[in-house]
Amino acid sequence: SYICQNHGLQINEDAIHLLHRLVGSHLQEIETEIIKLKDFISPRVRVETQDVKSVVSKSREENVFQWTEAVAE
């Protein structure tokens, strides 16, 4: 929530929990995802759960896919 406020955003509690579940506690990664969310929802300022599902889950799935490919090599 603090990082969102620094970017002029508001975020609902469910969206915070989902963001944490998808990204973990890595502050730099959280910051990166919040910047993506800000661009995605603009001109709105409130991040909803569906926004997190639309933006963050895709990035995380791509990272898992890339990691799986790297392990397989």
pLDDT of residue 41: 97
pLDDT of residue 46: 97
What end-to-end distance do the CA atoms of the chain give, in Å? 39
Q: Are 47 and 12 in contact (CB under 8 A)?
A: yes
pLDDT of residue 23: 87
Tens-level pLDDT at each residue, the chain (73 residues): 789 999 999 999 999 999 988 888 888 989 999 999 999 999 999 999 999 999 986 555 555 556 566 677 6
Indicate the pTM of the whole model. 0.76
Contacts of 19 (CB under 8 A, 6+ apart): 11, 30, 33, 34, 52, 56
Q: Does an H or E element contain 8, and which?
A: none
